[in-house]
Amino acid sequence: MKTWKDHIRKVVPYVPGEQPQGDHVIKLNTNENPYPPAPGVRRVLREMGADQFRKYPDPSAGLLTRALADRYHLPAEQIFVGVGSDDVLGMAFLTFFNSKKPILFPDITYSFYPVWADLFGILYETPALDEEFRLRREDYKRDNGGIVLANPNAPTGLCVPLTQVEDIVRWNQDVVVIVDEAYIDFGGQSARALIDRYENLLVVQTFSKSRSMAGMRIGYAMGSRALISALEDVKYSYNSYTMNAPSIILGAEAVKDEAYFRETVEKIVRTREAAKERFRQMGFSCTDSRTNFLFVSHERVSAKEIFEALKRAGIYVRYFAVPRLEDYLRITIGTDEEMEELYRFLEKELPKMGAERAEH
């Protein structure tokens, strides 16, 4: 009869970006940092012995938590560490969104949000961004069970000013507001500055983008002691040892090197701003991205055709075959050399493309 199949939890899963293999691949599809981690991370990694692997890691990730507390001038009790910001966000959904009211997040945003909501049985509604992909504050000033805002947003790259974020938080003080700041280091002003004023605000960041450590899976949340304590209670009830020892040690080392962090972020921002102009010269429109990627659409050639041509050439970007996004590509900022190779390909091949769209 196989009736056990009737009781499997069924969700539509998140679809990650491709992880291509090969000797000559330009990977601009998953928003990784093109530069290596801080020199101290590489040094400690070389010196690290294997003996530590026989013991359980510190469940509180104390070494890393204290490093983050020092960096952000916060008490350690106001910081929660998890296995990438996805782990932190998933734990936050599970912890804070348990009312009978729907939570709110934009219709175009990080596509993991509806997956977690479905997985945990959380009601949700998705107010539409406007025609320029901007958030409408009035959509978040109504009865709800919680708010989730990616700022800067993905995949659009647009950033909401801090004054507008605060307006939403202020209006929703009876629910938890999560601000997902995976890309905040590349532009915009962090909502971390509001934590002391709003007990209901949780700010989530990651080491995957600006700190070049996507492979180590390190994310963290900052908020009031009450929010962080609630997160820890759920974590310890589910899996106390979520973060491995190397991630704790290497993450703490990465936080120490502020100069290297600033240097790599500035390099990416310079390349991003130059890329906006190069893309415009080739007939693309670009949003005013404040991230480490661009969100672009060509005036004549379909995004799908460009995506497929690039892929055949070993250049990977992200294409979303969904309504409102099917005319856009999300392109991670690579090194200057990688970007030049992308430009050369597009300048050569774009004039040959677009016959199908032109016929219509």
Name which of 349, 328, 312 is nearest 26 in CA terms. 312
Q: Which residues contact 119 (CB under 8 A, 6 or more apart)?
A: 9, 11
- Helix or strand (DSSP H, E) at 342: helix 336-349
Nearest-angstrom CA–CA distance, 181 and 194: 14
The answer to whether the pTM exceeds 0.85 is yes
Nearest-angstrom CA–CA distance, 318 and 156: 12
Structure token digits, residue 312: 């055949």
Nearest-angstrom CA–CA distance, 48 and 66: 20
Q: Which residues contact 52 (CB under 8 A, 6 or more apart)?
A: 245
Within 13 A of 7's CA, how many CA atoms are on the CB side?
4
Residue that has been written with the tokens 């983050």 in this structure = 68
Q: Residue 155: is the preceding peptide bond cis (ω within 30°)? A: yes
List the chain pLDDT tens, one digit each, 360 residues: 578 888 888 888 888 888 887 778 999 999 999 999 999 999 998 898 888 888 999 999 999 999 999 999 999 999 999 999 999 999 999 999 999 999 999 999 999 999 999 999 999 999 999 999 999 999 999 999 999 999 999 999 999 999 999 999 999 999 999 999 999 999 999 999 999 999 999 999 999 999 999 999 999 999 999 999 999 999 999 888 889 999 999 999 999 999 999 999 999 999 999 999 999 999 999 999 999 999 999 999 999 999 999 999 999 999 999 999 999 999 999 999 999 999 999 999 999 997 544 444
